[in-house]
Amino acid sequence: RGALLLERLDASRDLTEVWIDEACEVIGGLLGELHRGVGPEFPRLTDWLDGQLVDLAATEALPRRVIDRATGLYRDLAPSAGHTLLHTDLHFENVLWREADRRWVVIDPKPMAGAPGVELHPVLRNRVDELGTGAAFRWSVRHRIELVCDAAEIEEDLARSWTMIVAAVQAMWATQGPQNPAAKDTVTWNLTLQKALED
Beta-bridged to residue 84, according to DSSP, are: 37, 114
State the pLDDT at residue 120. 97
State the pLDDT at residue 1. 82
Mean pLDDT of 166-193: 91
Q: How confident is the model at residue 158 (pLDDT cuts 50, 70, 90)?
A: very high
The secondary structure of residue 128, as a DSSP letter, is G
Mean pLDDT of 167-181: 89
**Sequence-separated (6 or more) residues with CB below 8 Å from residue 121:** 163, 166, 167, 170
Q: How confident is the model at residue 164 (pLDDT cuts 50, 70, 90)?
A: very high
Q: How confident is the model at residue 4 (pLDDT cuts 50, 70, 90)?
A: confident
Has 50 been annotated as catalytic?
no
State the pLDDT at residue 177. 75
Residue 178 reports pLDDT greater than 80 = no
Instruction: Kindly list the distances between the CA atom of residue 84 and the CA atoms of 38, 53, 159, 171, in Å, as whole numbers in the listed order.
Output: 6, 21, 14, 26
Residue of 47, 55, 76, 89 with catalytic role: 89
Mean pLDDT of 120-137: 96
Instruction: Kindly list the distances between the CA atom of residue 120 and the CA atoms of 101, 115, 196, in Å, as whole numbers in the listed order.
Output: 27, 11, 14
Residue 199 reports pLDDT greater than 80 = no
State the pLDDT at residue 24. 98
State the pLDDT at residue 6. 80
Segments of 107-198 assigned E as strands = 112-114
State the pLDDT at residue 51. 96
Q: Give the separation between CA 106 and CA 180, rounded to whole angstroms.
A: 33
Q: Give the separation between CA 17 and CA 37, rounded to whole angstroms.
A: 32
